Amino acid sequence: MSFDVPEDLRYLESHEWVRVDDGTARVGITDFAQDELGDVVFVELPDEGEELTAGDEFGVVESIKAVSDVYAPVSGTVTGVNEALFDDPELVNEDPFGEGWMVELELADEDELDALLSPDAYRDQIA
């Protein structure tokens, strides 16, 4: 089975992705992660305004069979939360890099991005 690993994203070993656009980082979990979890039925996310430090657990994603913490790939202030996931958590399965995004952060330190995995490095990890 092969999984989507978009070229324009950066990744964390714990299967989160981050997309940076003009100082804002959008974060979600990868195609591999959603497949491992199976049917997502519940997502718990932080409130807007919360400060996250890279490596913090910022939320929880639950499938029928498993519970998994979600980690912040970078530090920053939560500026957006994907509330659509509260009613339609299956968006995480259907479109993990699009409609299934979880939070947006205002980046505290762009240099932290250098510590994240490239698409190739992440592909190697899940191979």
Residues that bind other proteins (CB under 8 A): 1, 38-39, 41-42, 60, 62, 64-65, 67, 86, 90, 93
Could you give the CA distance from residue 61 to residue 18 in angstroms, rounded to a whole number? 17
Closer to other proteins by CB, 77 or 93: give it. Answer: 93
Could you give the CA distance from residue 100 to residue 15 in angstroms, rounded to a whole number? 14
Alpha carbon distance, N-terminus to C-terminus of the chain: 10
> Taking the complex as a whole, how short is the minimal distance between the CB of residue 64 and other proteins, in angstroms?
5
Closer to other proteins by CB, 66 or 115: give it. Answer: 66
What one-character DSSP code corresponds to residue 104? E
Closer to other proteins by CB, 60 or 121: give it. Answer: 60
- Name, in order, each residue with C-beta under 8 angstroms of 10's C-beta and a sequence gap of 6 or more: 17, 18, 20, 73, 113, 116, 117, 118
> Taking the complex as a whole, how short is the minimal distance between the CB of residue 62 and other proteins, in angstroms?
5
> Taking the complex as a whole, how short is the minimal distance between the CB of residue 125 and other proteins, in angstroms?
19
